[in-house]
Amino acid sequence: MKSKKRVIVAMSGGVDSSVTAALLKKDGFEVIGVTMCFNIPQGRSKGSSCCGIEGIEDAKKVAGILDIPHYVLNFGQILEEKIIKNFCLEYIHGRTPNPCVRCNQFLKFDGLFKKAKELNAAYLATGHYAKIIYSRSKKRFILKKGKDKKKEQSYFLYSLKKEVLPFILMPLGNFTKEEVRKIARNFKLQIADKPASQEICFIPDDNYRLFLKSRLPEKYFKSGPIVDIKGDVLGKHKGIAFYTIGQREGLGIALGKPAYITKIDARKNLIIVGSKDELYSSGLIAKDFNFISMDYPKTRLVVKTKIRYNHKEVKSVLTPIKRNCIKVEFESPQRAVAPGQSAVFYDKDIVLGGGVIV
């Protein structure tokens, strides 16, 4: 890394972003910490929110210890327009959104990246467990998985534009979470053992159903039938926005055997349930693609596909079928493919790109 260059570090008040700032200062960068705030209700959540008052205060304390400037910037409008509205719309259309992907796409690596440029910074740095390196063979910067197999976050980063990769730093890609906590202790940072936030930051009490009811008109929670694959009515749902593919609990039906949501038909206000075996799919269609470590494929391509963050990758074949729309065929059927979630494609530890499941 080149020293004495200005870098903006996205500081949430957690251990990851704090150690990112500490490492970069140690490496000779001119580090400026920035915390994004959103003016959102905090609720009574037990975990620590990445963008609440506690996070801002912790980030300021860390900046003081490291002797770096720290600023709080309001990104509430972008959060509302790009993430929260999409979150609500996806659920009322029977899909399951991934707000963390859109947060990276529109907040960190668009809105905050632009702010970093306004501040004449050479780089924007984050505490993600992933790697950005220059590939001599590909003659481009590429995104790779982080060292920590349990913590690595490349799945959430596929939407980064290839044009910004040269200006993004992710120092934690070569560390495990425990190594990061140890580094925080060595820097005498009081947040060394702070628990990681496990919740969606803009949802109080981690209750997305209550959040949707507070944001949307009552007409979007119209009751409708729960049916089996034959169309026989088994019960009633409370509004399709409250349900997701693969859900078993809270259906209010008793069949004498486990039943899972296999499909949600928003147009007909229907929820279709079936057996565990009926949850499996041989493939999917995805759109709204971003290919980050390669160009958009023109022919069939063999990759590994991940359909959820905690999902095990499966060998797949990608086939472009029309503009920005790709068919994915799995080597073996996969459970609970949910529209709205992201399908992300890998070549070993390289993130090729991804898109949204339709």
The pLDDT tens digits for 108-142 are 999 999 999 999 999 999 999 999 999 999 999 99
| Vertex 342 angle, CA 351 and 283, to 5° | 95
- Could you report the per-residue pLDDT of 246-290, keeping only the tens digit for each? 999 999 998 889 999 999 999 999 999 999 999 999 999 999 999
Tokens 């078993």 identify what position?
248
The pLDDT of residue 287: 96
Asked if residue 55 lies in contact with residue 13, where contact means CB atoms within 8 angstroms, the answer is: yes
Q: How confident is the model at residue 194 (pLDDT cuts 50, 70, 90)?
A: very high
- In the predicted model, what is the mean pLDDT of residues 172-199? 94
Does residue 184 carry a pLDDT above 90? yes
The pLDDT of residue 197: 76
Tokens 């029309």 identify what position?
322
Q: Which CATH superfamily is domain 279-357 in?
A: Translation factors (2.40.30.10)
Q: How confident is the model at residue 230 (pLDDT cuts 50, 70, 90)?
A: very high
Does residue 1 carry a pLDDT above 60? no
Give the CATH architecture of domain 220-275. Roll (2.30)
Residue 81 has a CB neighbour count (10 Å cut-off) of 11
CATH number of 6-206: 3.40.50.620
| Vertex 118 angle, CA 114 and 122, to 5° | 80
Q: How far, in whole angstroms, is CA 233 from its chain's centroid?
A: 36
Does residue 64 carry a pLDDT above 60? yes
pTM: 0.93
The pLDDT of residue 45: 44
The pLDDT of residue 50: 58
Q: Tell me if domain 220-275 and domain 279-357 are identical in fold.
A: no
As annotated, the active-site residues are 103, 201
Backbone torsions φ then ψ of 23, nearest 5 degrees: -65, -40
What are the extents of the domains in the chain?
6-206, 220-275, 279-357
HEC-encoded secondary structure of 253-291 = CCCCCCCEEEEEECCCCEEEEECCHHHEEEEEEEEEEEE
Q: How confident is the model at residue 158 (pLDDT cuts 50, 70, 90)?
A: very high
- Could you report the per-residue pLDDT of 200-228, keeping only the tens digit for each? 888 878 899 999 999 999 999 999 999 99
The pLDDT of residue 246: 96
Indicate the average pLDDT of the chain.
94
The pLDDT of residue 61: 97
Does residue 49 carry a pLDDT above 60? no
The pLDDT of residue 226: 97
Q: What percent of the chain clears pLDDT 90, i.e. is strictly above it?
A: 88
